Amino acid sequence: MDNRILGLHHITAIAGNAQRNFDFYTRVLGLRLVKKTVNFDDPGTYHFYYGNEVGTPGTILTFFPWEGITTGYAGTGMATEIGYSVPAGSLDFWKERFDQYKVKQEATGERFGELYLPFQDPDGLRLALNVPKVADNRKAWVTSGITEQAAAKGFHSVTLTLKSIKGTVAVLTEIFGYKLLEQEGNRYRFITDAVDNAAIVDIIEDPQGKTGQVAGGTNHHVAFRVANDNILMEFREKIEKRGFNITPKIDRNYFFSLYFREPGGVLFEVASDNPGFATDESVAELGTNLRLPAQYEPMRQDIEKQLPVLH
């Protein structure tokens, strides 16, 4: 069993209106809602998981949609862009689709020899569609209007913006096993060879940058992947030995987690592949039912009354 960090597991962000978030990610971007549950610490708020058919780690973007939350802003000390991988030749399709749905987008650019299309979701969260140098062979979730030739495959990368990169680089390289691949200006690209996809972390160093504010339209944390919860605990020991304040193992129903804040200020999570999303509903049913953590099941009626109705 590979006992390394296996790239990105999931990324969690904050949204406002739940229906708007659901509509954008399932209908505009074409992802699958693989789990509809609630925030463990605030059961009156949804926790949405979007990904591919089965919720493979490396495809999962999750949201806490807090109705009426103030808008945050991206800045130093946080993840500032989520990159998705899309097939070569698909960016024109996406530009037209974003125009059709009035999605805020910027001009296509190039980073490290790869084309990318930056855009924002309805809450202002910054994302980008990236055409990787090496074709991404993951099977995408295909919906009406988005073919296999255009559909997002899962994560390409995540970008962190930091005042200083030194401490964060030590975590990525000395604990997580990443290596510096390339540098363009103040952007540094780190990659792991443990996996073929969802393997990239870009870091932008901005010593004078304004500190970000975590609220609506921003990223909450970045989760890195391990194969199982035994390996998870090996990493807990490694991280704790480096002097970081790290949580005990937490059971999130669909994976096990550890959390710590890295030196640049970003909340990092290490999450296991096991047990996966098809533990409390079949693959065919994923995302169709409200699933509650066991401790909240006795309060289901009250919780369902609090949660916004999704159409």
Give pLDDT tens digits for 270-290: 999 999 999 999 999 999 999
**Torsion (CA) 167, 199, 221, 280 in degrees, nearest 10:** -140
In degrees, rounded to 5, the angle at the alpha carbon of residue 199 between the alpha carbons of residues 90 and 223 is 110
Which tens digit of pLDDT belongs to each residue from 239-249? 999 999 999 99
Answer whether residue 62 shows pLDDT above 80.
yes
Q: Residue 2: its pLDDT value, please?
A: 80
* Whether the predicted pLDDT of 300 surpasses 80: yes
% of the chain beyond a pLDDT of 90? 99
pLDDT one-digit tens code per residue, 19-46:
999 999 999 999 999 999 999 999 999 9
Cβ–Cβ under 8 Å, residues 5 and 270: yes
CA distances from 5 to 78, 80, 259, 264, 270 (A): 20, 22, 15, 19, 8
At residue 294, the 3 state secondary structure works out as: helix
- Say if residue 50's pLDDT is above 70: yes
Give mean pLDDT, residues 152-156.
Answer: 98
Q: pLDDT per residue over 213-248, tens digit each?
A: 999 999 999 999 999 999 999 999 999 999 999 999
Q: Name which of 266, 262, 260 is nearest 236 in CA terms.
A: 260
User: What is the average pLDDT across 299-307?
Assistant: 96
One of 1.10.3720.10, 2.40.110.20, 3.10.180.10, 3.30.428.10 is the CATH number of 8-306, namely: 3.10.180.10
- pLDDT recorded at residue 1: 47
Asked if residue 124 lies in contact with residue 12, where contact means CB atoms within 8 angstroms, the answer is: no
- Alpha-carbon separation of residue 126 from 14, 129, 161 (angstroms): 12, 11, 13
Q: What is the pLDDT of residue 294?
A: 94
Q: In whole numbers, what is the pLDDT of the chain averaged over residues?
A: 97
Task: Please compute the mean of the pLDDT values over residues 57-67 and round it to a whole number.
Answer: 97
